[in-house]
Amino acid sequence: MMTKFQEREIHDFLRRKKLSAVIFNEVYDHFVIQISELMKENLSFQEAFLKTKVGWQYELEMVNADVLSFKKIARIEKTVLKSRFRNIILSSISLSMIGLAAFLFLNDYFYIVQFGLAILCFSMLVYNFAFKKMKFREYIELSFHPLILKNLVVGCILFLGMGYFTQNAYFGDFEIIKIFSIYTALVQIQLLYFRSKKLNVLI
């Protein structure tokens, strides 16, 4: 039977790994169960704790969150984030295809779609500030979010590539640029939405 002090020691160890609330609770429960089982085999708390830490060493190793991020997070957290980022990208691409359809068949209404997304993005931002879901410092960090930076790189390639191959300086005339603008807006809206739900998206 573990004491409150020993449970606190486990809690403090995992807290230093900067895990999100959901993952923290799951890993904490696993630690308590594994250590309790090992203590039943006549191991001391410290021996059981050390053995459990060694077993979780790979998952709890601190690594870069992304190629374009300097933040260090536990590997288990990175796995969850990569899955969340993948879902953000796929849903943004899917919705951008709807935007493409709007451009092809309802060209006169395409700018309404763009304006609507801009309003939605601004509303999410105001909501996060008004209800203290996000600090101004975190909003600045959002500008350097890995997904935003990747979009910036892709956008620059599109702009420069289109300009080079067509010799046209009016990039706004290109349909692909317009669709890409919808994609980037959708990515940012989803990041703000997940932030409002207190889900970890590296903000």
User: What pLDDT digit, counting tens, does each position of 69-122 carry?
Assistant: 888 999 999 999 999 999 999 999 998 888 777 777 777 777 888 889 999 999
The Cα 201–Cα 145 span in angstroms is: 9
Residues 92 and 168 in one domain: yes
Helix axis angle for 21-39 and 75-105, nearest 10°, is 150
Instruction: Give the number of domains in the chain.
Output: 2
CA atoms within 13 A on the CB side of 76: 18
Q: Which pLDDT belongs to residue 52?
A: 97
Residues 20 and 93 in one domain: no
Handedness of CA 189, 191, 195, 199 (dihedral sign): positive
Residue 203 lies in a domain: no
Residue 105 lies in a domain: yes
Residue 56 lies in a domain: yes
Residues 47 and 135 in one domain: no
Residue 122 lies in a domain: yes
Confidence (pTM): 0.81
Look-up: residue for tokens 């951008």? Answer: 96
Residues 44 and 104 in one domain: no
Residue 71 lies in a domain: no
Residue 162 lies in a domain: yes
Identify the domain containing residue 31 by its residue range. 4-60
Residue 117 lies in a domain: yes
Residues 130 and 162 in one domain: yes
Residues 107 and 182 in one domain: yes
User: What pLDDT digit, counting tens, does each position of 146-186 carry?
Assistant: 999 998 888 888 777 766 666 654 545 567 777 888 999 99
The Cα 127–Cα 203 span in angstroms is: 16
The Cα 188–Cα 146 span in angstroms is: 11
Residue 191 lies in a domain: yes
